[in-house]
Chain A
Amino acid sequence: GAGVSQSPSNKVTEKGKDVELRCDPISGHTALYWYRQRLGQGLEFLIYFQGNSAPDKSGLPSDRFSAERTGESVSTLTIQRTQQEDSAVYLCASSFTGGGPNEQFFGPGTRLTVL
Chain B
Amino acid sequence: GQNIDQPTEMTATEGAIVQINCTYQTSGFNGLFWYQQHAGEAPTFLSYNVLDGLEEKGRFSSFLSRSKGYSYLLLKELQMKDSASYLCAVRSNTNAGKSTFGDGTTLTVKP
- Footprint of B on A, CB under 8 Å? 31, 33, 35, 41-43, 45, 48, 50-51, 53, 56, 91, 93, 95, 97, 101-109
Contacts of B29 in A (CB 8 A): none
If A41-B103, A42-B102, A48-B98 touch, does A101 touch B42 (CB 8 Å cutoff)?
no
Count: A-B pairs, CB below 8 Å: 56
| A43 with B101: CB separation less than 8 A | yes
B87 interface residue (CB < 8 Å to A): yes
**Chain A residue, CB-CB nearest to B99:** A104
Q: Please tell me if the beta carbons of B43 and A53 are within 8 angstroms of each other in the complex.
A: no
The residues of B with any CB-CB pair to A shorter than 8 Å are 31, 33, 35, 41-45, 48, 85, 87, 89, 95-104
Q: How far is the CA of A33 from the CA of B91 in the complex (A)?
A: 13
Q: Are A43 and B87 in contact, CB atoms less than 8 angstroms apart?
A: yes
Given contacts A103-B48, A104-B45, contact A45 B103 (CB under 8 A): no
Q: Flag if A103 contacts B42 (CB, 8 Å).
A: no
